[in-house]
């Protein structure tokens, strides 16, 4: 029998079969050694009987997976960044977009709390749309653009990710009429406490699923050759091949088509500057990777 993992807590998993029935399961020992089941995994399961819990026998091949949040088989990652407090961390947004793209997951940027600072929200949306990223300004509290966001996500398995306090759980509540726990900003900032503690996949009426995740401030990913970083920046694509040096990092090389596009205002300068900063950080790590 097959099912989808909705949640995992302390070695116990909740799975749902294709008819919507739920099961509490544990992972068989050989599975625990190989690869831990992730939320979103499709699994082969044996239901429990009576008081006994069931078992996860096998994890079916994953279409994709993320480490932070630790989830699998996602159609879209919705990066949530606030137009108010906490201030949007754009370097983090960029990293999350890169992480999603490298795993073949289409990202979408939702600029939340847009009623707090409509100009700031518009500016972030402008910057990312110009960079070939789907971006939309929304407000859970003022009900702005929720219909449009719902329409973009309809029928998909989508994960909301982003800083603690960005408003991920609030957005899910507003989009789908749910009552997930949301939290005070002062709690989060002063005590560094996440309100959402674990990933939870929630089936939606009419198809698709939404995944709430705990906020984080650090996104770890498998190290990769920094020369590949530019591939995750869609706005560089049409200049590729036009640089004097091959390969070109599009960072400080002379006669670089991307840098010329930045100078001409065709590519956003702030986004490019963040790219260079991330690239330099990666080049140092890459050089030191065998130390
Ligand atoms: N003004 C305003 N505040 C909002 C909006 N959406 C959420 N908030 C507030 O932002 C705070 C954090 O919201 P949460 O939904 O708990 O944030 P989260 O991203 O789920 O946080 P973690 O679970 O800790 O990762 C709460 O005080 C919400 O009331 C909005 O559209 N406008
Ligand atoms: Mg939350
Ligand atoms: Zn270049």
Homologous superfamily (CATH) for 66-212: P-loop containing nucleotide triphosphate hydrolases (3.40.50.300)
- Residue closest by Cα to atom 23 of ligand 1: 196
Q: How far apart are CA 71 and CA 8, in angstroms?
A: 11
C-alpha 107 – ligand 1 centre gap (Å): 21
**pTM of the complete model:** 0.94
C-alpha 251 – ligand 3 centre gap (Å): 7
Q: What is the atom index within ligand 1 of the atom nearest the CA of 80?
A: 19
Task: Return the DSSP state at 39.
Answer: B
What are the phi and psi torsion angles at 243 (to 5°)?
-90, 160
Which residues have CB under 8 Å from 14's CB, separation 6+? 5, 6, 7, 8, 22, 23, 24, 25
Q: What is the atom index within ligand 1 of the atom nearest the CA of 184?
A: 27
What are the phi and psi torsion angles at 250 (to 5°)?
60, 40
Q: How far apart are CA 199 and CA 182, in angstroms?
A: 14
pLDDT at 255: 98
H or E element that contains 24: strand 22-27
pLDDT at 14: 96
pLDDT at 219: 62
- Residue closest by Cα to atom 2 of ligand 1: 113
For the sheet containing 76-82, what is the strand order?
134-137, 106-112, 76-82, 157-161, 209-212, 200-203
pLDDT at 49: 87
How many CB atoms neighbour CB 252 within 10 A?
Answer: 10
Q: What is the pLDDT along the chain (291 residues), one digit of tens a residue?
A: 999 999 999 889 999 998 999 999 999 888 767 788 999 999 999 999 888 889 999 999 999 998 878 899 999 999 999 999 999 999 999 999 999 999 999 999 999 999 999 999 999 999 999 999 999 999 999 999 999 999 999 999 999 999 999 999 999 999 999 999 998 877 666 666 788 888 899 999 989 999 999 886 556 667 899 999 999 999 999 999 999 999 999 999 999 999 999 999 999 999 999 999 999 999 999 998 877
Domain 226-287 has CATH 1.10.40.50: yes
Q: What is the atom index within ligand 1 of the atom nearest the CA of 115?
A: 32
- For the domain made up of 2-61, give the CATH fold: OB fold (Dihydrolipoamide Acetyltransferase, E2P) (2.40.50)
- Residue closest by Cα to atom 12 of ligand 1: 165
- Give strand pairing partners of 164: none
pLDDT at 189: 66
By the 10 Å C-beta count (0-12 exposed, 13-18 middle, 19+ buried), 278 is classed as middle
pLDDT at 223: 83
Among residues 51, 149, 64, 59, the alpha carbon closest in space to that of 100 is found at: 64
Residues whose Cβ atom is located within 5 A of ion ligand 2: 168-169, 195-196
Structural domain boundaries in the chain: 2-61, 66-212, 226-287
Among residues 78, 144, 135, the alpha carbon closest in space to that of 116 is found at: 144
pLDDT at 68: 77
What end-to-end distance do the CA atoms of the chain give, in Å? 47
pLDDT at 290: 79
Q: Which residues line ligand 1 (CB under 6 A)?
A: 84, 112-113, 115-116, 139-141, 164-170, 182-185, 188, 194-196, 214-215
CB-based contact 182:173 (threshold 8 Å): yes
The structure tokens listed for 81 are 């960044």
């Amino acid at each position: 029998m097959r099912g989808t993992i909705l949640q995992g807590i302390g070695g116990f998993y909740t799975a749902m079969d294709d008819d919507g029935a739920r099961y509490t399961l544990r992972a068989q020992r050989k599975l625990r050694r190989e690869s831990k089941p992730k939320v979103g995994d499709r699994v082969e399961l044996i239901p429990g009987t009576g008081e006994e819990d069931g078992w996860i026998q096998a994890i079916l091949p994953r279409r994709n997976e993320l480490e932070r949040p630790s989830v699998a088989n996602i159609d879209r990652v919705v990066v949530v960044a606030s137009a108010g407090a906490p201030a949007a961390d754009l370097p983090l947004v960029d990293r999350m977009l890169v992480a999603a793209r490298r795993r073949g997951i289409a990202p979408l940027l939702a600029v939340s709390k847009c009623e707090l600072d409509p100009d700031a929200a518009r500016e972030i949306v402008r910057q990312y749309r110009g960079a070939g990223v789907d971006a939309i300004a929304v407000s859970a509290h003022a009900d702005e653009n929720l219909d449009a966001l719902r329409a973009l996500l309809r029928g998909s398995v989508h994960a909301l990710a982003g800083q603690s306090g960005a408003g991920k759980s609030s957005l899910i509540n507003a989009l789908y009429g749910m009552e997930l726990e949301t939290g005070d900003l002062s709690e989060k900032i002063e005590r560094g406490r996440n309100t959402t503690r674990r990933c939870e996949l929630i089936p939606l009426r009419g198809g698709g699923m939404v995944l709430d995740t705990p906020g984080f401030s650090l996104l770890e990913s498998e190290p990769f050759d920094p020369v590949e970083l530019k591939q995750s920046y869609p706005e560089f694509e049409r200049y590729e091949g036009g640089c004097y040096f091959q390969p070109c990092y599009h960072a400080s090389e002379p006669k670089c088509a991307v840098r010329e596009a930045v100078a001409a205002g065709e590519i956003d300068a702030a986004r490019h500057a963040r790219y260079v900063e991330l690239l330099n950080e990666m080049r140092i790590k890459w050089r030191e990777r065998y130390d």
